[in-house]
Chains A and B, each alone.
Chain A
Amino acid sequence: MSRSTLNSLLLFGLPALFIATFFVVPLVNSVAVSLGVPEFTLAAYRRLVDVPVYRAVYGRTLRVALIVTLVCVVVGYPCAYYISTLGRRGRIVAIGLIALPFMLSVLVRNYVWMVLLQDTGLVNRLLIGAGWIETPVRLMHNELGVLIAMANMLLPYVIFPVLGALLAIPPELRTASASLGANGARTFWRVTLPLTSAGTAAGALLTFIVGLGFYITPAMMGGAREMMVANLIAFNVRDVLNWTLAFSLSTSLLASTIVLYFAYRALLPRVATLQAI
């Protein structure tokens, strides 16, 4: 064996071995356990469907991810649009401000939200101080708190793809639209929006996928009832030691994520071709 093949074997072989040992094997194992190997039964999956609590957690997870995605699109698109109208410098500053929180740990960001949203938090004190309310409004330990914090954390997943799509539109397309008799609003509906729809869809799908797997935020911002799938998995692993159920939960979550990921991949070429023009 030559020296260079040995080197490349080490270079790629070791990480491959590492991933196989600590990632693929446990993954395969968890799928196998969830299927009741060696017998092969779908009993664990049937429980997911049959037991109302599990159904509820699944339903909530999908609902929360969906609402958060909608909020992110509704808030993120105008943000991205505004940023696209800024000059070069303003754009860089805005992108920096949006990316900045990514450098903070999720824990820290959740604590910040707790400081803001708890009964004695900044928001409630301001509202009471302004005389708009008398008793604090519950802004956390419920689904609202989870939605607010998750939407905040997932916003960049919409803003960046939409911004990319907006900046890829040649400026003279809008000028052309104006010369053909379209005012600003109609140019937006007929030119800008269609040319950013693929980018927006990609951003929304990404938000939804990432949103499905949220764990810390529901645990910190929600109450006991705001459990999402990831929390239910942890609960089954740590507290009740029902590994079969935990594995079936995680396998089904993984499967839905993979399906969504391929949907996202199918969108990407459309985004790319639009940007190539």
Chain B
Amino acid sequence: MTSSIDRPGTANGEVEVRGLAKRYGAVDALQPTSFRVTGGTFVTLLGPSGSGKTTLLKLIAGFEEPSAGSVHISGHAITDMAPYRRNVGFVFQQYALFPHLTVAQNVSYPLEMRRMPRVAIDKAVANTLELVRLSDLARRRPSQLSGGQQQRVALARAIVFRPPVLLMDEPMAALDKRLREEMQLEIRGLQRTLGITTISVTHDQSEALVMSDRILVLRDGMLQQSGTPEDLYHNPRNEFVASFVGESNILRGRVENGPGGPSMALGDGLGIPLGAPAPPAGAEIVCVLRPEAIEIGGEPSVDHFETVGEVVDRIFCGDVVRVRLRLVGAPETTLVAKMPTQRRLVFVPDTGTMVRVAWRTEELIVIERH
């Protein structure tokens, strides 16, 4: 394969950005950001609308010029390289398929740009179409495809030239929930098979949790935290990450030193014990308690913090029942608990009843202290 296009990623496909930043006029779309993505891993950029996810992706792809910082792929600086020389696959949110070309022609496009011989092109296109299960539709035009099929074409077109790095901007946003969940697994499988370093953008936290080796959480153009899904879920660094990744109850209070060890005082003096290492007495802290960590009803247990709460309401969500509780002694604090649904589940507390509320002390995560 002779090519005029540089292939910086013939090596390991590691992506690194150093101090990368972008300003649009007065808007800081991306504050100076640094991170490194290990070759072959799947990383998700997660954040709310306007947090700079697309901007970051465009800077890596070279569609926009950074105001500061540098981009490196497989150890080579590519910051000044034109996008068409970067050899990076890109899946657009609206797919951006060429309407005047058939599926097969769309997928052969990047290979033709690399001046591959026709025979090799046809072979690679056939292979890739098979990989995304589109072989039967090769001669259709994009307008004759469903959304899910178009998405596969976009994916096939972005990987057919075997780029070391694949970037995807909300690839699943235009699909319905079922198809989305199906494609999440399919793309993840494909990514593992090909070993292609992938950076995907989403504002769907469940998608991020399902697909990623690592998640980078962005907010207002600033990187909040990066880590494995488990890491982010169990050790959120701040309130934003805690509430954005998974559901959470946020509790605020002051640390007190009681007879039973350090605790957090809520409302009318309800003391919630803190695990070690506890912050010093007098500190104002913010804690996170995941809904599934809360037990309702049942028998008291020695390693649990035990208290009583009133059931405010219950919502049946299919796989779980979400129960809202008001703790006795802290009427301003409502907690959401999730109870798994089982057909033989005997205990479903009624609204207005008082129930046992309990959790293991170590489930309470201290995230901020002042």
A residues at B contact (CB < 8 Å) = 170, 172-173, 175-183, 186, 190-191, 194-195, 273-274, 277
Contact = CB atoms under 8 A, between A and B. Distances in A.
Given A175-B63, A190-B109, A181 B96 contact: no
30 contacts: A170-B96, A172-B96, A175-B63, A175-B83, A175-B90, A175-B92, A175-B96, A176-B92, A177-B84, A177-B109, A178-B62, A178-B63, A179-B84, A179-B90, A179-B158, A180-B109, A180-B113, A180-B158, A181-B84, A181-B87, A181-B110, A183-B82, A186-B113, A190-B109, A195-B99, A195-B100, A274-B99, A274-B100, A277-B99, A277-B142
B157 interface: yes
A175 B88 CA distance: 12
Contacts of A190: 109
B173 interface: no
B5 interface: yes
B304 interface: no
Interface string B278-300: 00000000000000000000000
Contacts of B92: 172, 175-176
A105 B143 CA distance: 45
Q: Name the residue in A173, A177, A180, A277 with the highest tally of chain B Cβ atoms < 10 Å from its Cβ.
A: A180
Nearest to A276: B143
A39 to B, nearest CB: 53
A177 B99 CA distance: 12
Interface string B72-112: 00000000001111111110101011111000000001100
Given A190-B109, A191-B98, A273-B143, 14 more contacts: A172-B92, A172-B96, A173-B98, A176-B90, A177-B84, A177-B109, A178-B82, A179-B84, A179-B89, A180-B84, A181-B85, A194-B100, A195-B100, A274-B99
Given A172-B96, A173-B98, A178 B84 contact: yes
A170 B94 contact: yes
B161 interface: yes
Contacts of A172: 92, 94, 96
B98 A182 contact: no
Contacts of B96: 170, 172-173, 175-176
Nearest to B5: A181
Contact of B161 (A170, A176, A181): A181
Nearest to B110: A180
Contacts of A182: 84, 109, 113
Interface residues of B, number: 29
B173 to A, nearest CB: 14
Which 4 interchain pairs have the tightest Cβ spacing?
Answer: A181-B113, A180-B110, A176-B96, A179-B90
Contacts of A175: 63, 83, 90, 92, 96
Contacts of B5: 181
Contacts of A195: 99-100
A186 B94 CA distance: 22
Q: Name the residue in B5, B97, B109 with the highest tally of chain A Cβ atoms < 10 Å from its Cβ.
A: B109
A191 B286 CA distance: 54
A179 B83 contact: yes
Contacts of B114: 181
A195 B100 CA distance: 7
Nearest to A170: B96
Given A176-B90, A195-B100, A274-B100, A183 B84 contact: yes
B61 interface: yes
Q: Name the residue in A176, A178, A183 with the highest tally of chain B Cβ atoms < 10 Å from its Cβ.
A: A176
B179 to A, nearest CB: 22
Contacts of B86: 179
Contact of A277 (B63, B87, B143): B143
Contacts of B89: 179
A193 B71 CA distance: 33
A151 to B, nearest CB: 29
B128 to A, nearest CB: 13
Nearest to A180: B110
Contacts of B85: 181
Nearest to A176: B96
Nearest to A191: B98
Nearest to A172: B96
Q: Name the residue in B87, B99, B161 with the highest tally of chain A Cβ atoms < 10 Å from its Cβ.
A: B99
Nearest to B89: A179
Nearest to A182: B113
Nearest to B58: A175
A274 B85 CA distance: 29
Nearest to B90: A179
A173 B5 CA distance: 20
A177 B92 CA distance: 11
Contacts of B110: 180-181
A181 B62 CA distance: 12
Interface string B105-137: 000011001100000000000000000000000
Q: Name the residue in A170, A173, A181, A195 with the highest tally of chain B Cβ atoms < 10 Å from its Cβ.
A: A181
